[in-house]
Structure formats: C-alpha cells, structure tokens
Chain A
Amino acid sequence: MAMDKKIFTTPIIKANPITVLVLGICSALAVTVKLEPAIVMGISVTLVTGLSSFLISLIRKTIPNRIRIIVQLVVVAMFVILISEFLKAFVYDVSKQLSVYVGLIITNCIIMGRIEAFGLTEKPLPSLVDGLANGLGYGLILVIVALFRELLGSGTILGTQVIPQSLYEAGYMNNGLFIMPPMALILIGCLIWIQRSFQKEDN
C-alpha cells in the first residue's frame, strides 16, 4: 500500500501533468476563464482518466499491440460520451456551460499519455489511482489559473462579485488581458517557474 500512496501523490505536484509533463495545455487555456467550468472540467477529466486507465488495464493482456491506440481511443471516447450524456440528463446547466469542451476531453493528451505510460503495463487498481491522481493534478492547475483569471479579468469568483464596487468607482478596471488565452499561458508559465525553482534537486 505504501507503493499506492506514492502513485497517488506524485502526479498531483511532483510530476504534475501540466506543469511538469506539459500535457493538456490547450484545454487548460480554453476552460479557465471562469472558475466553475474549470472545476467541472477537472472533475470530468479525473473521472475519464481514472476509469479509462482502469478499463484498459483490465483488458491490457488481450489488446493486440498493433491497434492498441485505436482501442484506447474507443474506450476513452466511450467514457467521454457517457459523462456527456449523464451531465445532460442530470446537471443540464453545467453541461451547457462546458458545451463543446466535454467532447474535447477525448483529445486531452493526459488521458492517452497515462494509458500508454501506466495503464498498459500495470495492474488495474494502481492504474485507476494513477489516472485519478493525474486528473486531480490537472484539475488543480486549472482551478489555480481560473481563480486568477476570473478574479483579475472579471472581478468575480464563481460568478459572485468580490472586488468591491467602491474600488471600481475609484477608477479600478478589470484587466481584459486575463480573459484572453495568452494570459493563461503566461500564468501557467509562472506556475511552472515557481514549481521548478522549488524542485531543483530533481534535475
């Protein structure tokens, strides 16, 4: 079990999929303008990475090596469609918010990356843990970036205004650059910078 704990903790900070592996950047730019879609996206990706890693690991010995990528794709796509269908049926408002991005989970490199690197060779349970942890690591960065972008770009957190109206009247303005995708890239760059300066010993 000591082994399992490490599988879970490493991807969240030390080998974070976004800041260390630099995977899944595109969606991190797209869904981080507001905090709420970022949270839902984080949860959805966590579920998809966990479940698809688990399932692929279960059937890993039967998968013909030559078509393994296609098999992975089919499994990932299945989970993404399932999640999309359930969101539409039970939390319609959220599914509307995420709109096209749910479908784009399929193309998130983290999922395929973890299946190739871990799920295909390891046992199902560790694969599930590894997938979930990588999803959480991805979600964590998304939430941090979205928090800054929403706060400084729109003056709100989760849709509620937090910057007092008096400040606006005194001449404060929301920074429009934070709404644009380039600022997300700069923020992620800053996070990578901060993390690498603390993790120097690994290099």
Chain B
Amino acid sequence: MDTNKNSYTIIYTIALVAVVATILALVSIGLKDRQQTNIDVEKQSNILGCAGLAQDVKNASDKNAYIQEEFKKYITEALVINADGDIIVREDISKTDKINQCAAFKIKPKEQFDIIKKIEAASEADKKALKDKLQLPVFVCNTPNEGVNYIISGYGAGLWGPIWTYMAIKEDGTGIAGALFDHEGETPGLGGDIVTEKFRNQFTDKIFIENGSMVPVRIVKGGVKDKAHEVDALSGATITSKAVETMVNSWLAYYQPFLYKNAKNK
C-alpha cells in the first residue's frame, strides 16, 4: 500500500488520534478516584502538619486511614468566613462522615486567590461586590499542648508556579503557631526548600499583630536580627522567598477581621 497518499495520511492521523485519546480518557477516568483521594489526604495532612500534628505518618501502615483518623481527632470545626470575618458556615467535623464534603474543605484556594487579585485591581465602587464573593476556610484545631489553633490557608505566585501555605494561628489571634508551605514547581534544592522543616519551623512564634495593628512578617537575607518578626530567607531563592513573604502577609491581612472578632484577646 502507498503510505504517502494524502487520503491515507489523513485517515491515519485521525485513527491514531482517536485511539490515543480513547486510551488516555479511559485511564484518566479509571484513576480519577484514586488521584482525588490522594489530593484530599494530602490537604488534610497539610492542615494537620502546620499545627505540628500527625507527624507519625511515616510509621503508619495505611497512610490515608491514619490521616483521616487524626483529622477527626484534632480538627473540631470547619468554618467558612467572609471578607468581614463573619462565619457563614459552621460544620462539626465529628458529625460529618466525609471530610472532603465540608464546605470549608471544598473551597479552592486558587479561586479565592483570583478573587483577591480582582479586588486589588478593582475600583472602590466594584470592591464591595467582589468582596461579597470571597469565602475563606478556617479549621478549628484542638491541639494537645497549645489549646485552640485556627488553621488558615493561603495561596500565591512563586517563581515557576503556584505556592501555597497552611498556617496555624494561636488562640489569641496575634501569633503564628506553625506554618507549612508547598509548591508546584519551584526549583528543587533552591526555592523548593520552602517545604523543609528548617524553613517552616522559623515561622513558629512569629508575631503579626502588635498593639492592635498589623506588623508584617519579614523574610530577610543575611541573618535575623528581630526574632519576633523576621525569618531567614533561602539562599539562592530570592524570588521564592519574597513570594512567601507576600503570600503570608496578604493572607494574614485577609483573615485579620475574623481573628479580631473570634480570638480570645480583643
């Protein structure tokens, strides 16, 4: 057969694409549930991890079951709040069967980040309408040692792709109890090191509200001088470090009304 004929070439391409597309579609559908479970468990593990919980995961025989059990043990409530810091949805975790069905859990940080970007670019008149759309998740966590923590989420732009964070805020709403960072495609060994314990542990006990007003957490080069507010930057990863700083402070600011209204000292 003449494989160089135009008709043959066209039919060949169509058939090839159809076959490949079918295979990929079937595999994608077949693996979707597993992948989604992995993503959900990862998120639960991050939420617990920022408060220093569920650290025995490496020894657990069934990682997924262990994380879900720990989540139910320590996280008491899942809240959704609006831009003014009022609680819109309050769900009791111990009464829900499926954690991934909670309203707070289903909120996608990326969508909220897009709304925030729009708010920042919008004129004063449009800001109000956009702010009504904003919904932020809060997980109330009952830690064994430090009382209640409010676990909040954040999302931002790194050097190569998105970066995100979960931060545990102390009961009085003025300090960070713990933070956890993750990224999609920062350079391994450089910006990718934001996930390391060495980096994230530095955020513990940072104070971001002093005398009732916000003091940004700063990420500095060349040694920390002010221990209550400064964190050492990653060497060789200036842009990622800056991105973390921007993300942490902007999300703390968005959560501040909630923390102000609900935290113990006012």
Contact = CB atoms under 8 A, between A and B. Distances in A.
A31 B24 contact: no
A88 B35 contact: yes
A47 to B, nearest CB: 15
A81 interface: yes
Interface stretch (B8-16, B95-103, B213-221, B222-230): B8-16
Contacts, number: 78
Interface stretch (A92-100, A115-123, A188-196): A92-100
B27 interface: yes
Nearest to B237: A179
B35 A100 contact: no
Dominant SS at the B interface?
helix
A71 B194 CA distance: 40
Contacts of A34: 188-189
Contacts of B35: 85, 88-89, 92
B125 interface: no
A97 B188 contact: yes
Interface of B: 3-4, 8-9, 12-13, 16-17, 20, 23-24, 27-28, 31, 34-35, 38-39, 42, 160-161, 184-185, 187-190, 192, 235-236
Given A71-B12, A89-B38, 10 more contacts: A33-B187, A33-B189, A33-B192, A82-B23, A85-B27, A89-B34, A92-B42, A99-B161, A100-B161, A176-B236
Interface of A: 31, 33-34, 37, 61-67, 70-71, 74-75, 78, 81-82, 85-86, 88-90, 92, 96-97, 99-100, 149-150, 153-154, 176, 179-180
